[in-house]
Amino acid sequence: MNMDRTIRVFIALVIGAACVWSSPGVSDAKIEMTGSALVSAQDVDFDTTSGALDEDFNFNDPRVNLYVNADVTDRVSVFTHFWIGNDWSNDNHTAGAPANGGINNKFVDAVSFVIGYVSIKDVFGLGLDLKIGNIEIPYGWEQAHHTHGADDRRNDFVTNSLLDINGYDPGVLLSGSFEARQNPISWEFGVFNGGVVNDGSPSGTSGQSRSNDDLALAVRAETRIDDRLSVQASYYQNDSTRDGDHDPLKIGSALFITSVSRAPGGGLAQNANLRGLTYIAGADGGGYDREMWEVSGKYDFDRGYLLAFWGNIDADSITVNAGREWNYYGLQGRYDLNEQSYLAARWNRLDLDYNFGVAGLDLGKPALWTVAAGYALADNARLKVEWSSFDEDGPHFGNLDGSAFSNGGSQDADALTVSLGVSF
- Give pLDDT tens digits for 186-200: 999 999 988 765 544
Residue from 210, 220, 221, 215 nearest 191 by CA: 215
CB under 8 Å to 319, separation ≥6 — which residues? 282, 283, 284, 286
Domain for residue 11, yes or no?
Answer: no
The amino acid at residue 134 is N
Domain for residue 92, yes or no?
Answer: no
70 alpha carbon, distance to own chain's centre: 25
Cα 240 from Cα 161, distance rounded (Å): 26
Taking residues 346-360, report their average pLDDT: 74
Domain for residue 70, yes or no?
Answer: no
Of residues 19 and 309, more confidently modeled = 309
Rounded to the nearest integer, the mean pLDDT of the chain is 74
- Indicate which CATH number applies to the domain containing 173: 2.40.160
Cα 259 from Cα 48, distance rounded (Å): 10
The amino acid at residue 68 is V
Residues 385 and 418 sit within 8 Å (Cβ to Cβ): yes
Domain for residue 411, yes or no?
Answer: yes
Q: Is the pLDDT of residue 359 over 60?
A: no
Strand partners, 133: 117, 171
Helix, strand, or coil here: 20? helix
Residue from 355, 268, 313 nearest 163 by CA: 313
- Return the pLDDT at 358: 54
Q: Which of the four pLDDT bands, split at 50, 70 and 90, describes residue 100?
A: very low
- Return the pLDDT at 270: 54
Taking residues 137-161, report their average pLDDT: 82
- Return the pLDDT at 320: 57
Residue from 362, 309, 344 nearest 163 by CA: 309
Strand partners, 319: none
Domain for residue 69, yes or no?
Answer: no
Q: Which of the four pLDDT bands, split at 50, 70 and 90, describes residue 98?
A: very low
Domain for residue 406, yes or no?
Answer: yes
Q: Which of the four pLDDT bands, split at 50, 70 and 90, describes residue 238?
A: confident
Q: Is the dihedral of CA 292, 295, 300, 305 positive or negative?
A: negative
- Give pLDDT tens digits for 8-66: 554 555 555 545 544 545 546 688 888 888 888 877 776 664 444 444 455 556 778 88
pTM of the model: 0.82
Domain for residue 75, yes or no?
Answer: no
Domain span holding position 383 = 35-63+140-423
Number of domains in the chain: 1
Domain for residue 282, yes or no?
Answer: yes
Q: Where are the beta strands (DSSP E) in 302-365?
A: 304-316, 324-336, 341-352
Q: Which of the four pLDDT bands, split at 50, 70 and 90, describes residue 84?
A: confident
Residue from 349, 350, 333, 319 nearest 241 by CA: 319
